[in-house]
Amino acid sequence: MSTLDRDTIQAWIEQLQHEAYVCPDCEGIHLHGWEAKEAVLEARCFVEKDRVSLLVEIAIRPSAVLPLQGAVHFMNYDYSLLKVMIAMADHDVPRLLLTHALPIAHLSEPMFQDWLKQLLSEMDAVYKHLTDMEVLLLEDDDYFTDFDDQLH
């Protein structure tokens, strides 16, 4: 079997009716439908020489970090295809990362499409759980607007 490339993987994604585009900055295949969801910062598929990986980054409220840290263990257990983790940087919003990689050796179109359907189904379930927990950092949220008023 010939080596799979980004164009082939993008075509396979689009055959599943997912709008996808290649980002000029990261060279990843971005999934527009996922990036259109509230609080989703990026949803992209990377094609490397030995694997295909999917990474979704979701902005979460800073106050949700501690409760989510406890829930991450259960999410990893309940959704076995996913690796769920929290990423934090000093000058950026906290993020929940959802990811998984698939070896590219012997990868066929039906195998990839089955994997992607299952993976996105699990990601949908986690996203619904986050929505129900009300931990998403939404753009129209007044979360930080009255911060100064709270100090006095």
146, part of any domain = no
**Res 60 pLDDT > 50:** yes
Neighbours of 76 (CB within 10 A): 13
pLDDT-based confidence at residue 3 (cuts at 50, 70, 90): confident
151, part of any domain = no
62, part of any domain = yes
Helix-, strand-, coil-residue percentages of the chain, each rounded to 5: 40, 25, 35
Which residue, 79, 86, 87, 71, is CA-closest to 123? 79
As for how many domains the chain has, the answer is 1
CB–CB of 25/45 below 8 Å?
Answer: no
Instruction: Describe the crossing of helices 65-78 and 109-133 by its angle, rounded to 10 degrees.
Output: 140
Domain that holds residue 60: 6-134
91, part of any domain = yes
pLDDT-based confidence at residue 146 (cuts at 50, 70, 90): very low
Q: In the predicted model, what is the mean pLDDT of residues 47-57?
A: 96
54, part of any domain = yes
Which residue, 1, 32, 2, is CA-closest to 17? 32
Which CATH number do you get for residue 121? 3.30.1460.10
141, part of any domain = no
139, part of any domain = no
Task: Write the pLDDT tens digit of every residue in 77-125.
Answer: 999 999 999 999 988 999 999 999 999 999 999 999 999 999 999 999 9
26, part of any domain = yes
